[in-house]
Structure 1
Amino acid sequence: MTDKQEANQTSGSASASSSTLERVDTIATRTSKDEEAAGSTSEAFSSKFTLSPDFLHKLVSSKDVSRLWHVGGPSGLEVALRTNFTHGLDNDEDVLQQLGNGRPEPVKRKQSIIPLHLEGEDSKGFSDRRHAYSDNRLPPRKSRSYLGLVWDAFNDKLMFLLTFSAVISLSLGIYQSVDPSEPGSNVEWVEGVTIVIAIIIILTATATNDWQKNRKFEKLNKRKAERYVKVVRLGKLVQISIDDILVGDLVKLETGDIIPADGILLDGFDVECDESSTTGESDLIEKTPFRERHGRDQHSEPTKASEKIDPFILSGSKVANGVGTFVVTAVGVNSSYGRILMSLRDVPQETPLQQKLGSLSKYILLFGSLFGVVFFFILLIRFLVRLPSIEGGPRAKGESFLELFMLSVTMVVIGVPEGLALAVTLALAFATTRMLKDNNLVRLLRSCEIMGNATTICSDKTGTLTQNKMTVVSCLMGLDDKYEDTQMLDGSDTTDNATREKRAQTMASVLNMSDQVRQLLRTSIVMNTTATERDDAGKCDLQGSSTEVALVQFAYDHLGLDQLTSARNSMRIIHMFPFQSASKAMAAVVALPHGTFRMFAKGAAESMIDRCTRVLDGDVRSLQEHDSTKLQSHIQNLAERSLRVLAIAYRDFPSWPPISTTFSSSDHLKLDDVLHDMTYVSIAGLRDPLRPDVIQSVQQCQSAGVQVRMVTGDNFNTAKAIARDCGIYASGGVAMDGPTFRKLTPSQLDSIVPRLQVLARSSPEDKRVLVNRLRAQREIVAVTGDGTNDALALKAADVGFAMGIAGTEVAKEASSIILMDDNFTSIVKAISWGRTVNDAVKKFLQFQLTINFSAGLLTAITALVGEVDEAVFTVVQLLWVNIIMDTFAALSLATDYPTRGVLQRKPEPRNQPIITVSMWKMIVVQTVYQMIVIFVIHYAGDKLWAANTEHQASQIQTTAFNTYIFMQLFNQTNCRTPDSRLNIFEGIMRNPFFFFVQAVTVTGQTLIVIFGGNAFQTARPTGSQWATSIVLGVLTLPLGVAVRCIPNKYFLKLTTPIRKLFHMRMRRKAAKERKKAARPPQPGLLSRAVSVIKRETKPPAGPIIPTNNDDIMPPPTAEELKLHRTASRTSLQRQQGEGEVSLSALIAFARDRNGQEQSKESEMAMGLRKYVFEVHPDTVVDDPIVLVDSKEEVEEGQYAPPPSQRADHLMYLGVGDGSGGAAEECRKVRRGSRAV
């Protein structure tokens, strides 16, 4: 092109852009007037931008293409937003304006991914843009102030009554002090002041704990909101936080992304979005790139066909398929999803533990309030009876009434479990903060405690059990040319850079292939990849999935690849098919120089070979049956070495899109439509070594009673080999592939799923079905996932773990916990923390109920037996006990770290009461002990210490109070283990809060006893009395050991009537909820009339047994049962046509195949040979494999344990059971019976 032609073209572009800009100004002016006429209240924005935020929001939300054409189409939008649809935003926005007005574009820069720190780079360049449109941050949620938290703690009826009583007491005390007619020291006001100070201390301590808890949750929420996207700026691909996205940015989209802002799709392939979260539309919406279809004639008027396209990208929607680029038009509160979030902030939901404690708190509150009311009326009746005989006049009578009233209110305060909620939230806040340091980002609080009771884990393989560091260790080109890295093929870890460089030099000559074949394989890898290259300080670093990076690195080392970006730019990509789990493949179509097109594809080796009809073996020839058999044998050999096996192939087309009638859609090609008649090129084996600590982590799970299952899309033999190395696949286990799994009916799945340890070549739908079948058997299921299609399984599971590194945004959004390091070991840590949270609440509950019962009964009995002022504890002393019981105990018992013991016991079932038998045993015995000790000191202390004076009598009452506090002090240590374990000091040195609380309690108690005087009504005890208090307190520790040694069965016999009475109402309520949820939706008038004639049968009593529906789950709650009814209707349709195989015959065939006893001529054997199903070779002969009816006795009203917790099931498995040896005893019995 000549200089004159370039000048003419430049001039023409400038004129066109100028006319476009004038058109934009006209439209913007008209739009602004329309908004003013409509009463728009949008604030003024920078005059450098012609389109207002409101107009841009309506541009996308209305999905009206005509609005795009009114602003001049793509070029008009480009000018109006002062961006560039090729190079993105620039710090110098004046340069971009000149580019948009037709100036020559700068030289194209090499695209690469670089780290971007916006703080120091765009403070000036984007100031006008930020002022006009803001950034993508939402205004932070207004946090509760400290004074607000104090008011929340004070906003309680009981606290109001106590404060009101304290104010009256203080007023009377001040009146007596200033009355000269009153004899004595006139210090009656001290008690009132002390009560007020005690109330202030309670409020301050509660508010401080809440404030610290909120601070931790705020930090956690900020971490949860952190997300990064790839945008084009300065012509380079950079990664920034979603908060820093600006209007005019060019954002890259990939399958699995959650769209961060509104915009217009400019380029893309097969982009489909799930907009159900924003528009409610359940179907996937196909997105058409606006610039691609209409950029050729940007100044032409829109046609009817162009009006029907949908290039509008809505924030908050999910990219279900495809890749593309869109320009941002609205961010933050101006975007669609931002406006929804601002109008509807998330309401925090209660966790299951909080729900259990809420119900328990209601009963304790009811009991405590009733006890306090009865206590008050008894004292009131006695007061009224003695009223005429009370000396001192009206003032003395008023003081007596006020004293009994304050004591009654304080009794209710002691009985109300105010610290329960504090203990739960404090334990959750502490655990989630520490879990973050253990690479567990908790998104849903409920998942933290649920994970502690998980019974099974369905884990991915790549990246979770393995290191996600793929390396090509074997490559077969054609049929004979083979490259093998013998060191890494054997599993040795020699991946350091020096060794790799040395091997790359020495192994390059091994590839005995022509330059043509080498170039074809290199081009196939380079063009059909999602890997990108980052140029950081002159060093090239590959970014992307481990498989993609391994293949590109192989091309660098052995195929002569020089630079990835330049190699990709050498050819034009016409179409891309992203990886699809259904086809287990991905492909890219490129334009060849002679006008033809070539599709490069790679995917699962065994399925890709089945799609090939030709082979590149020197020259292209037909793929014969013996060739296919040879390749399949090679694939199996690599898979048995724990390698991931991929096949690379291509296919040529004379035109694109191809002319054919077999396509599912003329406008939207599917990969399966063209993935056939391929030409085979190469088979690659990739090694991904196991994580160093994964074997130990799997063993820890098995010791904790948690079964681990591998669910992967990899080859069956590869999955088996890695599962065997991990310790997942062991004797008694079953392995199968996805197609075989899909052939089984729900009833067959229910029989075999408890033994399923490996599920290979599985689809995301298989994973979801497996999760639902396990939950139907009352398993508490945790599942890992990283892909977009894994979202359904993550949602279906009790706890969903998304991969923080390899996971898509959709998977993270559907998960409960994000594994920041993609490591299976982090899941084990999550189990430990979940059990620690449950234990923390039980510790606190055991400690608090002991005080509730003992302090309440002691005060009530002593006040009723004697006078009110003769109660063993005064109001102020009881408030001090309340501080210890609530705030201090929550801080010390809810902040323990996990110990080794938490992973050496079985998980708790869903419906287990929060107060266990061991806890009741300790609560009752400690309460009785404390009451006996205090009664002896209170009523017989004058004889024990020969008290003759009033001061000595006061010392005895102080000793009773002091002894009671020291018993609580040591009982707090005793409550560190809520079960029957004897080591109560395990992990105590790791909890500084415990020692801090103990020190504060001892210091406070010492000061109160020595210097309390009239305020606390104490007198300084003697040395012997101090020793007595401490010794009697210490005795709670050996008493706790003795109680733990008593078998629970003896305590159960003594307390059966009490336990039934306590749990009867809770069970009735749960039964009503289940019965209500099991009923079908309310019918119409005609249906109700019919039901009168034909009444439905009542549901059977007892536990609800799951039916053979695909999606049904166990019914612990009404909400879940409601979900199951809806899901079961669709799952019944899915069952039609399945059940082609006999499960018993399949198991028998697999066992015979292990023993090599099957008859090859058997017609049944030939029919079963197509199913990929294996029973572990070490499985004993008498193992039934399928699930049999449980013979374990189940308590009335309780569910039977899930299969993973049944000893008769675990006895056949060669894994740990975490059941305290129950399964091992069964194994010994089984071995003995076989020997006989």
Structure 2
Amino acid sequence: MEKNGSFISDAAPRYLSPGIKMNVEPKEPEELVSQDVLTTREFAFSPDRLSNLISSRSLTDFFNCQGIIGLAKGLHTDARGGLSMDETVPKSLDAREWGIALQTDRQNDAFAMRKQVFGDNHLPLRKPPTILQLLWMAYNDHVLFLLTGAAIISLALGLYQTFATRHGPGNPPVEWVEGVAILVAVVIIVLVSTTNDYQKQRKFQKLNRKKQDRDVKVIRSARSQEVPIYDLMVGDVVLIDPGDVIPADGILIQGHRVQCDESSATGETEPQAKHPGNEVFSAFQDGRDCQHMDPFLISGTKVTEGVGSFLVLATGLRSTHGKIILSLDEEPDFTPLQLRLNTLAKYIARFGVIISLLLFVILFIRFLVGLRSSSQTPAEKGQSFLNIFITALTVLVIAVPEGLPLTVTLALAFATTRMLKDNNLVRLLRACETMGNATDICSDKTGTLTQNKMIVVSGCFGDNSEFERQLAAPYGATTNGDDKTLATEYIQSLPDDTRIILKESIVTNTTAVESDSSGEASSFLGSNTEAALLQFCRSHLGMGPVDVERANVKIVELFPFDASRQCMLTVVQQEDGRYRVYVKGAPEVLLRKCTRVVESPAGGLATIPITETITQSLQQAIARYATKSLRTIGLCFRDLHNWPLTEDIKFEDFFADLTFLAVFGIRDPLRNGAEDAVRACLKAGVAVRMVTGDNALTARAIATECGILVDPDDVVMEGHEFRQLSQSQQTDLIPHLKVLARSLPDDKRTLVARLQEAGRVVAVTGDGTNDAPALATADVGFSMGISGTEIAREASSIVLMDDNFSSIVKAVMWGRAVGDAVKRFLQFQITITITSVGLAFVSAIASSEERSVLTAVQLMWVNLFQDTLAALALATDPPTERILNRKPEPKNARLIPAPLWKMIVGQSIYQLAVTLVLHFAGSAIFSYHTEHEKQQLQTAVFNTYVWLQIFNIYNNRQLEKSINIFEGVLHNWLFIAINVLMIGIQILIMFVGGRAFSIVTLSGAQWAYSVVLGALCIPLGFLIRLVPDRLVERILRATGTLWDLIPSRKRQEPPRNT
């Protein structure tokens, strides 16, 4: 059977694979030649034919394509070496055999013809709304419809009055202006809302593209390398490992025990075994029963077990996953905060409807009563009624808080975009806000708290041959230039058979592949632990290219690393025909399965029975490495006399009677900043727990170094001890358990579940396939962007792009920033809603003309910066380090806590007092008697009210009891821009608004007291912050009404999307 030059030999057993189609009368292989050449002259197979081969899963069609050999030949690729990196136009094949006439007009563009014929691997994204759709979505509101209709009628009446009636001196014909002004205000609101929505859509589109982006391992020009998933092409040879998500449709070339979870594509819940294409082709050709053999790999499905390589046949839209995505039309789910804000908005809207209806009824009754004595013309009476209707509608417009859902969406869009720069790729929006309430972080050790830059620094061969001091200095010490020379001399002094067995044990028991380093120092793609072992092999055991070394060893069985077993096992056939088992894994686990040990590696491979003394000596060596924060890896072997051991081969058949060969200590230094990040979490009230597969001594050393273990009551426990505890014992232990060592993936899930049962909000990190249940169970799951598997990423809600614990702290900060942004805007909007509605209601009721002191156009301008501009300004503040100085909010915390209520009530009272006093008593206070002075007073009321909001927005930037409300303002250019825009527009309105805004020019003194009265809300804010929160809470509990109306998070929490 042919070996894979870059991977492992073919020895996959047969499993039942339902869904495979096979016709009873197969065609001859030669019949495929001319079937597709007319549509695809450059290749023997058209894209549609390859896509149909996968979708039909027909073994007859596969046989008619001449199997792997025929498909590779027809696609101008190589099943072992992959595509050629030098390809421009595919090499010419025998035209008589394939009927191909190659074009040569794109010779200088690599893979140009291949891309043109088969396309790339871009998957379709959900089509965003067009500008016209966004405009309609912004305008599609019943209140805006009514306001538009009223404005059109007002405009019609205004035009009639302007052109059909006489106007005396001082009464210019401009009745049409108010109708036009309202329409313009509606258009501006719709345009600004559309612009916001468009920007938001662009941010989320960018985020969604980033979610799909990842690298896949391929073989090109017989070299392993990583390429972006979008650059994957038909004809590529892709390497797969457990935890991978199949990136495109294809046929398995080589593999060992490959099984895939195809539930996402077929609904089949059981993992499906896959068989190499050559094996299936041979069985079909020999007439054997191969109905249950399955060589087809489906894009979007998950590799649950096994390693191998496959030939890509369909990508992008023609792949199975692409077709499924095209058929979906999913709307994004609301986040918990959005649900709560929607509920709050409904309550506020009901309040607005009641107020506006009450205002309309009162004004309409007064209008009807005054009709008999009115001297107005019919057109003027109609205009008066329209004014009442428009005033009531405008109060409703300003009372309905359209900006509430917009705020959280803007905050999430801004936060997720900025989090990406902080190496957090948010997959589920709800996770961003949930991180603000996180109370516990269960973190892995390797790569998250440590650098994941591993090197072998210590080792023990056989019974007593150690080389720690000869190879490298202890952890944390400096090394001298002679270390490598001494280590090389020591290992070269070992006999050939010892060095060969060490090299074979490492080479065959790793799945990392060598990357194309372009002349630089070699590097490996895959596990960093395996990369460290392979680098040790290269430096000290004379290892050549990894693919060549593996090709020279005949692997007949392979069990990939499994976290539940904590080891990997390979069976190889030796040159003399005998078989040897190599095992790599946790040394203390392997020791329990060992019955013998290599007596003296320097003298050969002679073995002796392992005794209690030898076991203790080896355990002491392991403990010595572990206490120096070294990861320990053990190697064992076993010689077999018979093969196979049983017909149904199981892992347990090999994992016994082992001979202990070696244990290595691998250094993985602590990340720079890890200790500071842990300390920041503790200061923020977030408990950090380490969950690792390393032994307890290594875990304790790292946890102590990074600051996780700080209290004498902190507990370090191994997984097997934790599993033996009852549920109640685990619950009692949870507050003190800080390190869970030698843990299985299910231990992590159990720990998360126990914490959640205690009312904690839990974030957990994971990188392996078996971590998926824990990632899905946690409130927020962090997968690793560098070392994590695709299955782990799909189960997570946030991807750590740099695998760094410090990035989790950034996620906590941004999560809290989203919550703060919403609270800031709530504080601002509820204040402005109370004051504008109150001012309009009272002034309209008190007016003899049934007119509000704030006209409809003025209220529309207030509504514009209340709902849209303020949302942009307050939802985009980046978090400061001070945000970590407070404890996380409980899950059932109120959306509007006591500090917000006291600011809302205090500022509302002040603003209403100032504007109402100006409106009703201003003439007396300032001795205004002429009609022009009274018009100036009404204009000053409008101007003062706007300046109150402009200054109050600074009060709302700070939720805590801080004197400096301007802290960090220069870091938010958007806040500054919005403030400059609001001030500029207000000044412009005051000077040129004129008739449209029903205002007149103000004097310098009037401008001064308008601005000063507005600015006084800032020192008032300082005084309000001094009011004890407990006093406000008592008052709120006593009144109860508004406090109980605001929904708690617990009732509004949606089901988690797992």
Q: TM-score, normalised by structure 1?
A: 0.79
Deviation at residue 600 of structure 1 after TM alignment: 2.0
Q: Name the residue aligned to 1:645.
A: 632
Matched, 1:681 2:666: no
Counterpart of 2:923 (choices 926, 942, 966) is 942
1:481-520 to structure 2, matched below 5 A, reads 481-485=465-469, 489-492=473-476, 503-511=483-491, 513-520=494-501
Q: Relative to structure 1, is the Cα distance of residues 561 and 64 closer, same or farther in structure 2, using a 3 angstrom cutoff?
A: closer
Contact 2:89 2:112 in 1 (8 A): no
Aligned-CA RMSD value: 2.7
Structure 1 SS opposite 2:659: strand
CA distance in 1, matches of 2:775, 2:107: 39
Q: Name the residue aligned to 2:1027.
A: 1046
Contact 1:275 1:285 in 2 (8 A): yes
1:624-1023 to structure 2, matched below 5 A, reads 624-656=611-643, 658-660=644-646, 666-667=647-648, 669-731=649-711, 732-868=713-849, 870-1023=851-1004
Q: Relative to structure 1, is the Cα distance of residues 872 and 854 closer, same or farther in structure 2, using a 3 angstrom cutoff?
A: same
Q: Name the residue aligned to 2:582.
A: 600
Matched, 1:325 2:309: yes
Partner letter of residue 698 of structure 1? V
Structure 2 SS opposite 1:801: strand
Give unpaired runs (5+ residues) of structure 1.
Answer: 1-19, 33-42, 103-119, 661-665, 1072-1115, 1124-1236
Counterpart of 1:197 (choices 184, 187, 194) is 184
Counterpart of 1:66 (choices 54, 60, 64) is 60
Partner letter of residue 794 of structure 1? L
Structure 2 SS opposite 1:854: helix
Of residues 149-158 and 445-454 in structure 1, the stretch that sits farther from structure 2 once superposed is: 149-158
Partner letter of residue 61 of structure 1? S
Q: Name the residue aligned to 2:102.
A: none
CA distance in 1, matches of 2:1015, 2:469: 67
Deviation at residue 1070 of structure 1 after TM alignment: 7.3
Matched, 1:443 2:427: yes
Of residues 166-175 and 417-426 in structure 1, the stretch that sits farther from structure 2 once superposed is: 166-175
Of residues 619-628 and 949-958 in structure 1, the stretch that sits farther from structure 2 once superposed is: 619-628
CA distance in 2, matches of 1:242, 1:500: 43
Q: Relative to structure 1, is the Cα distance of residues 25 and 380 closer, same or farther in structure 2, using a 3 angstrom cutoff?
A: farther
CA distance in 2, matches of 1:1062, 1:50: 72
Ranked by relative contact order (alpha carbons within 8 Å, sequence separation 6 or more), the top structure is: 2
Superimposed CA distance per residue, residues 600-648 of structure 1 (whole angstroms, 9 cap, x where no aligned partner): 2211111111211111123222222211111112111221221111111
Deviation at residue 577 of structure 1 after TM alignment: 2.0
Contact 1:23 1:72 in 2 (8 A): no
CA distance in 1, matches of 2:264, 2:608: 51
Contact 1:177 1:188 in 2 (8 A): yes
Contact 2:582 2:635 in 1 (8 A): yes
Partner letter of residue 974 of structure 1? N
Of residues 58-67 and 850-859 in structure 1, the stretch that sits farther from structure 2 once superposed is: 58-67
Deviation at residue 502 of structure 1 after TM alignment: 5.2
Q: Relative to structure 1, is the Cα distance of residues 61 and 360 closer, same or farther in structure 2, using a 3 angstrom cutoff?
A: same
Matched, 1:414 2:410: no
CA distance in 2, matches of 1:460, 1:122: 49
Deviation at residue 1118 of structure 1 after TM alignment: 7.3
Contact 1:263 1:326 in 2 (8 A): yes
Partner letter of residue 986 of structure 2? Q
Contact 2:261 2:272 in 1 (8 A): yes
Q: Name the residue aligned to 1:372.
A: 356
Contact 2:1037 2:1043 in 1 (8 A): no
Structure 2 SS opposite 1:469: coil
Q: Name the residue aligned to 1:1111.
A: none
CA distance in 2, matches of 1:501, 1:586: 35
CA distance in 1, matches of 2:280, 2:993: 86
Q: Name the residue aligned to 1:216.
A: 203
Q: Relative to structure 1, is the Cα distance of residues 553 and 238 closer, same or farther in structure 2, using a 3 angstrom cutoff?
A: closer
Q: Relative to structure 1, is the Cα distance of residues 719 and 597 closer, same or farther in structure 2, using a 3 angstrom cutoff?
A: same
CA distance in 2, matches of 1:100, 1:573: 39
CA distance in 2, matches of 1:448, 1:980: 25
Q: Relative to structure 1, is the Cα distance of residues 549 and 359 closer, same or farther in structure 2, using a 3 angstrom cutoff?
A: same
Contact 2:471 2:486 in 1 (8 A): no
Of residues 533-542 and 846-855 in structure 1, the stretch that sits farther from structure 2 once superposed is: 533-542
Partner letter of residue 568 of structure 1? R
Q: Name the residue aligned to 1:1183.
A: none
Q: Relative to structure 1, is the Cα distance of residues 96 and 599 closer, same or farther in structure 2, using a 3 angstrom cutoff?
A: farther
Q: Name the residue aligned to 1:311.
A: 295
CA distance in 1, matches of 2:878, 2:490: 55
Contact 1:252 1:326 in 2 (8 A): yes
Contact 1:82 1:248 in 2 (8 A): yes
Deviation at residue 132 of structure 1 after TM alignment: 4.0
Partner letter of residue 897 of structure 2? T
Deviation at residue 124 of structure 1 after TM alignment: 4.7
Q: Relative to structure 1, is the Cα distance of residues 966 and 764 closer, same or farther in structure 2, using a 3 angstrom cutoff?
A: same
Structure 2 SS opposite 1:278: helix
Q: Name the residue aligned to 2:598.
A: 616
Deviation at residue 486 of structure 1 after TM alignment: 7.8
CA distance in 2, matches of 1:863, 1:310: 78
Deviation at residue 122 of structure 1 after TM alignment: 8.7
CA distance in 2, matches of 1:683, 1:268: 29
Contact 1:488 1:687 in 2 (8 A): no
Deviation at residue 539 of structure 1 after TM alignment: 2.1
CA distance in 2, matches of 1:123, 1:361: 60
Counterpart of 1:181 (choices 146, 166, 172) is 166
Partner letter of residue 679 of structure 1? T
Partner letter of residue 324 of structure 1? G
Contact 1:247 1:330 in 2 (8 A): yes
Deviation at residue 185 of structure 1 after TM alignment: 1.7
Structure 2 SS opposite 1:922: helix
Contact 1:274 1:284 in 2 (8 A): yes
Partner letter of residue 1056 of structure 1? R
Structure 1 SS opposite 2:263: coil
Matched, 1:85 2:67: no
Matched, 1:134 2:102: no
Q: Name the residue aligned to 1:338.
A: 322
Q: Name the residue aligned to 1:56.
A: 50
Contact 1:176 1:182 in 2 (8 A): no
Give unpaired runs (5+ residues) of structure 2.
Answer: 1-24, 99-104, 601-605
Q: Name the residue aligned to 2:17.
A: none
CA distance in 2, matches of 1:502, 1:488: 9
Deviation at residue 490 of structure 1 after TM alignment: 3.8
Q: TM-score, normalised by structure 2?
A: 0.92
Deviation at residue 354 of structure 1 after TM alignment: 0.4
CA distance in 2, matches of 1:900, 1:100: 72
Contact 2:299 2:321 in 1 (8 A): yes
Counterpart of 2:371 (choices 380, 387, 392) is 387
Deviation at residue 148 of structure 1 after TM alignment: 2.3
Counterpart of 2:528 (choices 546, 557, 573) is 546
Superimposed CA distance per residue, residues 872-906 of structure 1 (whole angstroms, 9 cap, x where no aligned partner): 21111111111110111011101101012210111
Structure 1 SS opposite 2:333: coil
Counterpart of 2:226 (choices 229, 235, 239) is 239
CA distance in 2, matches of 1:995, 1:441: 28
1:1127-1142 to structure 2, matched below 5 A, reads none
Deviation at residue 853 of structure 1 after TM alignment: 0.5
Structure 2 SS opposite 1:649: strand
Q: Name the residue aligned to 1:152.
A: 137
Of residues 542-551 and 1054-1063 in structure 1, the stretch that sits farther from structure 2 once superposed is: 1054-1063
Superimposed CA distance per residue, residues 787-820 of structure 1 (whole angstroms, 9 cap, x where no aligned partner): 0111111111110001110001111111111111
Structure 2 SS opposite 1:463: coil
Of residues 690-699 and 43-52 in structure 1, the stretch that sits farther from structure 2 once superposed is: 43-52
Deviation at residue 672 of structure 1 after TM alignment: 3.1
